[in-house]
Amino acid sequence: MSLKSRLTTLACFAGVLSLGLGALGCAGSGTNPTPPAPIQFVYTSDAHYGITRATFQGATTVNAQPVHAAMIGRINSLPTVTLPLDGGLHQGQLVGAMNFVAMTGDIANRSEVPIQSSAASWAQFKTDYLDGITLKNASGQASPIFLAPGNHDVSNAIGYYKTMNPLTDATVMAEIYNRMMSPSSLRTAATYNYTNDKVNYSKDIGGVHFVFVNMWPDSGVRAWLDTDLRSVASTTPVILFTHDQPEVESKHFTNPNGVHDINATDKFENLLVDQLADGLTISAPSTLEQTAFVTWLKAHKNVVAYFHGNDNVNSFRTYTGPAADISLPVFQVDSPMKGNVSGTTETKLSFMVVTIDVAAKKLTARECLWNPTATFGAPVAWGVVKTIDLVPRAN
Tens digit of each residue's pLDDT (9 = 90 or more) over 195-216: 999 999 999 999 999 999 999 9
Dihedral sign computed on CA atoms, order 323, 225, 107, 368: positive
Q: 184 and 41, same structural domain?
A: yes
How many separate helices (H) and strands (E) can be counted in the chain? 7, 14
The answer to whether residues 176 and 149 touch, using CB atoms and an 8 Å cutoff, is yes
Q: Is residue 266 part of a domain?
A: no
Q: Is residue 356 located within the same domain as residue 309? A: yes
Q: Which residues pair with 356 in a beta bridge?
A: 39, 363
In tens, the pLDDT along 85-95 reads 999 999 999 99
Q: Is residue 21 packed enough to be buried (19+ CB in 10 Å), middle (13-18) or exposed (0-12)?
A: middle
In a domain, 261, yes or no: no
Same domain, yes or no: 1 and 22:
yes
Whether residue 274 lies inside any domain: the answer is no
| CATH number of the domain bearing residue 320 | 3.60.21.10
Do 184 and 310 belong together in one domain? yes
* One domain, residues 100 and 10: no
Q: Is 394 inside any structural domain?
A: no
Side chain identity at 348, as an amino acid letter?
Answer: K
Within a 10 A sphere around the Cβ of 317, how many other Cβ atoms? 14
Cβ atoms within 10 Å, residue 388: 16
Angstrom distance (rounded) from CA 130 to CA 125: 7
Same domain, 55 and 194: yes
The domain in which residue 188 lies consists of 36-248+286-389
Structure confidence by residue, pLDDT tens digits, 139-197: 999 999 999 999 999 999 999 999 999 999 999 999 999 999 999 999 999 999 999 99
Total domain count for the chain?
Answer: 2
Question: Is residue 281, in this structure, part of any structural domain at all?
Answer: no
In what helix (H) or strand (E) does residue 354 lie, and over which residues does it extend?
A: strand 350-357
